[in-house]
Structure 1
Amino acid sequence: MSRRLARELAFKALFQEDLGKNGLEPALTELLTESGLSGDHAFFTRQLAEGALLHLEEIDNQLAKYLVNWEFGRLAAVDRSVLRLATYELLYCADIPTAVSINEALELSKLFNSDESAKFLNGVLDKLARDQEGGKEES
């Protein structure tokens, strides 16, 4: 449960950063303090949020390839933040199984947006993950 909460906090920090309501560090500090999350789980929260922000341009470029007839900037901020977080995990966190990253993203989408949104995100993330797996097999 704590890793799920860590992802939720990372998502919220990315969401706030995306909307320009708070810088990442103040958002993370506030969210971690309010939640009481500490230790390894707080480290995981920071790793996800800071990593996604550090690689934001590459993540957004990757995602844009999978948004058929849709502009990345026109996505709902919730969807953008969930996609960025999940894509960071898929691209940079080899120790996290693909299915876990996608499932956790879908749960966040259902919690903060809708089941319909989760279906859309599932299609995008599934295609991205398949292409990533295909690239790993060829290497």
Structure 2
Amino acid sequence: MSRTSARETAMKLLYEYSVTGTLSKDSLENAPDALGAESLDENNLRYVGDIVAGFTDKCNEIDEIISSNSKSWKLERIAKVDLAILRLALYEILYMDDIPQKVTINEAIELAKKYSAEKSYQFVNGLLGGYLRNGGTK
């Protein structure tokens, strides 16, 4: 299965975190079956695991970046789906050097178009693009 499917799985798990405030080990272990991603290959399952494990360690840093780059929007006001997409994209940008930033942004836009409100992709694109234009530093 493709990296796009793995990103969708990771985004859904980060959405769970946005709603519940936790990511359980069971959620990660059962994610492929529960989210309809049972055909993820070993590399993509490892990618999902790396995102989830890494995000839990870097959540505060990533959320601070989102807060400081979302003009007039407090973290609590951002739609949970958009928040999950932004968290995934920023984790990739910050910690996964093997993924080109343009690919990450394009995939985030596509996830927003598929799973979020009609114009959410513009918000996602604007926040990520603004972050990178302003130096994109950790």
- CA pair 108-69 structure 1, distance change in 2 beyond 3 A: same
Give the counterpart of 1:35 among 37, 51, 55.
37
Which amino acid in 2 is paired with 1:30?
N
Please, what TM-score do these two structures have when normalized by structure 2? 0.88
Deviation at 1:17, TM superposition (A): 1.9
Report % sequence identity.
34
- Seen in structure 2, the aligned counterparts of structure 1 residues 91 and 112 have a Cα distance that, compared at 3 Å, is same
Structure 1 pair 74–87 and aligned structure 2 pair: CA distance change class (3 A): same
Runs of 4+ in 1 over 6 A off after TM superposition: none
For residues 99-110 of structure 1, the aligned pairs below 5 Å read: 99-110=102-113
The answer to whether the aligner puts 1:10 opposite 2:4 as a matched pair is no
Which structure 2 residues correspond to residues 1-139 of structure 1 after superposition, within 5 A?
A: 2-20=2-20, 23-33=23-33, 34-36=36-38, 37-132=40-135
Question: Given residue 48 of structure 1, which amino acid in structure 2 is its aligned partner?
Answer: I
Please report how far the alpha carbon of residue 71 of structure 1 lies from its aligned counterpart in structure 2 after TM superposition: 0.6
CA separation in 1, counterparts of 2:14 and 2:49?
11
The question of whether the paired residues in 2 share the 8 Å contact of 1:4 and 1:104 is answered with yes
The CA distance in 2 between the partners of 1:59 and 1:101, in whole Å, is: 15
What is the CA-CA distance between 1:53 and the residue it aligns to? Answer: 2.1
Please state whether the residue corresponding to 2:119 is helix, strand or coil: helix
* Deviation readout 1:14-38 (Å, 9 max, x if unpaired): 1112211863422222222342223
Say which SS state the counterpart of residue 52 (structure 1) adopts.
helix
Which ranges of structure 1 fall in alignment gaps of 5 or more residues? none
Higher helix share: 1
Q: Structure 1: how far apart are the matches of 2:75 and 2:55?
A: 16
| SS of equivalent to 1:35 | coil
Is contact 1:16-1:24 (8 Å) kept?
A: no
Q: What is the TM-score with the length of structure 1 in the denominator?
A: 0.88
Q: How many equivalent pairs are there?
A: 135
| Amino acid in structure 2 at the alignment position of 1:68 | K
**Alpha-carbon offset, residue 78 of structure 1:** 0.3
Aligned CA distance change for structure 1 residues 21 and 109 (closer, same or farther; 3 Å): same
RMSD: 2.0
